Amino acid sequence: MSQAQSRRMRFSMFSTFCPGAGPPSHWHHPKAINFDYTNLSHWIELARKIEEAKFDCFFWADFNGVHDTYKNSTAPAIELALQFPVADPVTLTAALVSVTQNLGFVFSANVIQTHPTEFSRRVSTLDHLSNGRIGWNIVASFQKSAWQNLGYDDVEPHAVRYRRAEEYVNVLYKLVEGSWEDGAVVRDVATGIFGDPSKVHPIGHKGEFYRVPGIHGVEPSPQRVPVLFQAGSSSNGRDFSARHSEAIFFVGNGDNPLPTFANFRRDMVQRLKGFGRKPTDLQFFVGRNYVIGSTEEEARRKDRELQQFLRDTEYVTAYMSSIMGVDFSQVDMDKPFGDFQSDAIQGLFRQVAESYPDKQGTFRDVAMVLALNRFVGTPDQAADEVETFLDAGVDGINYQQMTGTHEVYGFIDHVCPVLKKRGLMQSEYAPGTFREKLFAGTESESGPLLNERHPAAQFRARKDAEARTGAALAESTG
């Protein structure tokens, strides 16, 4: 792959397996067809179209609870279809990998929803079925209703959630990297020997939250560890990403997210270096909506209509209530947020707050942040912005639908050809797994597995390891 291609922008299609695709997208917009979300053919069509357009991946947000902070009630979420009802994207992924060949699939999964042993079995299975096209967005849920419905009394404090996530990923690494050595699967029909027991090791994990003494239940898959995404950007979230993730999300605010992005990126690069990783080991995906017109005037008209539509419902306010952990029905929305602190999604609030250095942004500004985070203009102007983002160190766009798939198809028909012509978007997929495709041509290109700088590598059961026993593995990893 040429140097120019390695500089290309990556594209992820953000979605949620629910009627409205995800904020700020509304299920009842006149042109939205996501209300058909329980119909598999809807998703097959979308997956095939974005693969044809050479998007890098599909990305699913997912929630085990309900956005019920607003009015302290589940009613707004049910009435407005606020990322609710939400079906299981992991199951959907299994169906969609069978109708695509190159597209990556990244699903969000909360570390409290499944025990790490079972989750590791699930990701190994999907990695096999997709031939290495799986990614996982690591989530330590901020939703109280999720924790309670999963059997906990209350949501754990922010720092404890990240400690739990840290242990959870370590168990995954031990199982999928450390348990089965290369060569453990013999598959010798002549002798009838399937596997070599001396090369399959118990992980002996005993930690603060989990106990997993035994061996991994699935033979090694192409990537072993799925490509790791993470969206939290509080100080804890940033450290977690700098240590573990291969992609991080940045939620832009308003017309120009680049000044706050520059601070964020600089900070992340420092943290990456602190953990012995290269800046190119982590890719930055910026969330962006697109309102496209054949002329600038047409795009602005569409945008005015859309903003009016969004302001006329409580959807965005109710959603941001949940995200910020504050009931916006109880605050004066036109008051500056000042020194407000949140224990929910700290990073997002911090990103918004940084774009108001005088702290004079209002709670309404915060509530509208997702709706305002959009590009408005012609396809050529959109490509200009993509180029500016690329120059600023953005690696990927997390495309957030405003209204539904009809708008995505417009982007594919009118903007993608311009992007490809200008070398800003890939015209062909690189060979190999999702990890190989994502990092092809970068300094972090390293094959299907996580590179040696990643903490998972220390758990690897090496081909050349002499008599590496389960006891030795447990001892070396704690």
Closest to ligand FMN by CB, 102 or 236: 236
Q: Is residue 73 marked as binding?
A: no
What values do phi and psi take at 309, rounded to 5? -60, -45
CB of 55 to ligand FMN, least distance (A): 16
Q: Where are the alpha helices (DSSP H) in 329-429?
A: 346-354, 363-367, 369-372, 379-391, 405-414, 416-421
Q: Angle, to 10 degrees, between the axis of helix 158-173 and the axis of helix 235-244?
A: 10
Q: Is residue 329 marked as binding?
A: no
Q: Is residue 162 marked as binding?
A: yes
Structure tokens at 83: 């990322």
CB of 140 to ligand FMN, least distance (A): 6
In whole angstroms, give the CA distance from residue 61 to residue 148.
20
Q: Which position has the token pair 């299994």?
A: 94
Closest to ligand FMN by CB, 107 or 459: 107
> Which residues form the interface with ligand FMN (CB under 6 A)?
61-63, 108, 110, 139-142, 231-234, 236-237, 249, 251, 287, 345-348
In whole angstroms, give the CA distance from residue 113 to residue 135.
17
CB of 185 to ligand FMN, least distance (A): 34
- Let me know: does 50 contact 103? Beta carbons within 8 Å: yes
- Let me know: does 319 contact 67? Beta carbons within 8 Å: yes
Q: Strand 57-61 relative to strand 10-16: parallel, antiparallel, unpaired?
A: parallel
CB of 237 to ligand FMN, least distance (A): 3
Q: Is residue 115 marked as binding?
A: no
Closest to ligand FMN by CB, 140 or 376: 140
In whole angstroms, give the CA distance from residue 460 to residue 455.
10
Closest to ligand FMN by CB, 102 or 373: 373
Q: Is residue 233 marked as binding?
A: yes
In whole angstroms, give the CA distance from residue 86 to residue 106.
16
Q: 254-274: buried (b, 16+ CB within 10 Å) or exposed (e) per residue?
A: eeebbebbeebbeebbebbee
CB of 244 to ligand FMN, least distance (A): 13
Closest to ligand FMN by CB, 70 or 459: 70
Closest to ligand FMN by CB, 166 or 181: 166
Structure tokens at 69: 């902070």
Q: Which amino acid is at 130?
A: S
Closest to ligand FMN by CB, 353 or 418: 353
CB of 61 to ligand FMN, least distance (A): 3
In whole angstroms, give the CA distance from residue 379 to residue 373.
17
In whole angstroms, give the CA distance from residue 272 to residue 315.
37
- Let me know: does 449 contact 224? Beta carbons within 8 Å: yes
CB of 88 to ligand FMN, least distance (A): 12
Binding-site annotation, residues for FMN? 62, 158, 162, 233-234
Annotated binding residues, as ranges? Answer: 62, 158, 162, 233-234
